[in-house]
Amino acid sequence: NIFPLFRISRLIQVEISFKLKGIALQTIHARELPDCYVFQNTITFNNRAHSGKIKIYFDSDTDIQECKDWHIFNSVLQKNTQYILVFDGFVILSCLASLILCTRSIVLAWRLQKRFVNFFLEKHKRRVCYADRLEFLNGWYVLVIISDVMTIIGSILKMEIKAKNLTSYDVCSILLGTSTLFVWVGVIRYLGYFQTYNVLILTMQASLPKVLRFCCCAGMIYLGYTFCGWIVLGPYHEK
């Protein structure tokens, strides 16, 4: 639609919706079935504020599916997909076993902590402080549990994406990427078995509270700069 200039002040909101279809042709060179994409796009012109500048919003939803009526012979897509699904299943089973074992260790440590508290209360008539109770909680096990849960969920999403049932690429990548980060952080605990590296790990553990307090104080200054830039530069740029 084309609006005359003398009626632009009466414009409140306009929505333009359209669909686009695309085909991923690069997989054909590998003798694989191509993927078909359907994009549902919506462009919204919002002039409700009547500020002299019409805000434009763009929203796009993607649906991925296998192309129909394609005939590609000697395709290796099915074999590769089966190998990947088997590998993902092995990863899920491994993480599930690790999750069960770490959860069992935490439950046993919690029971031992309760017995320790009751023993001190009965024998010495003293209550154990909260800091001493936390000594029974192994933080590495908690990190492994979080990593396993994220890996299991991310692997399931990856299998669904491979089966063309989901398109949640961002959620899947965030879960798998964060779980990989936690796994590599968990490797640090094994360095504690070496005397040289154990000194560094103990130093990091002792300095962590002070470093966090410094980050909190410095973060206030950084937030101040952020809000200042947002307020000063915000009216001149939409981001």
| Domain boundary assignment for the chain | 8-66, 74-193, 194-227
Longest CA–CA span in the chain (Å) reads 90
Measured between alpha carbons, how far is 165 from 168 in angstroms, rounded to an integer? 10
Taking residues 22-30, what's their average pLDDT? 62
Task: State residue 90's pLDDT score.
Answer: 92
Cβ neighbours of residue 139 closer than 8 Å, sequence gap 6 or more: none
More reliable by pLDDT, 160 or 147: 147
Task: State residue 123's pLDDT score.
Answer: 82
Nearest by Cα to 28 from 68, 62, 70: 70
Band (pLDDT 50/70/90 cuts) for residue 1 is: very low
Rounded to a whole number, what is the distance in angstroms from the first to the last CA of the chain?
Answer: 28
The residue written with tokens 């359907």 in the block is: 38
Task: State residue 2's pLDDT score.
Answer: 42
Taking residues 208-234, what's their average pLDDT? 91
Residue type, 103: T
Lowest mean per-residue pLDDT among 75-89, 139-153, 172-186, 218-232? 75-89
- Going from the C-alpha of 86 to that of each of 30, 82, 155, 175, the distances in angstroms are 21, 6, 11, 20
Band (pLDDT 50/70/90 cuts) for residue 5 is: very low
Taking residues 195-209, what's their average pLDDT? 85
Task: State residue 97's pLDDT score.
Answer: 94
Give the highest mean pLDDT range of 14-18, 48-52, 114-118: 14-18
- Going from the C-alpha of 235 to that of each of 44, 52, 54, 181, 226, the distances in angstroms are 21, 13, 14, 38, 14
Residue 208 has pLDDT above 70, yes or no: yes
* This prediction's pTM: 0.62
- Integer-rounded Cα Rg, in Å, for the chain is 28
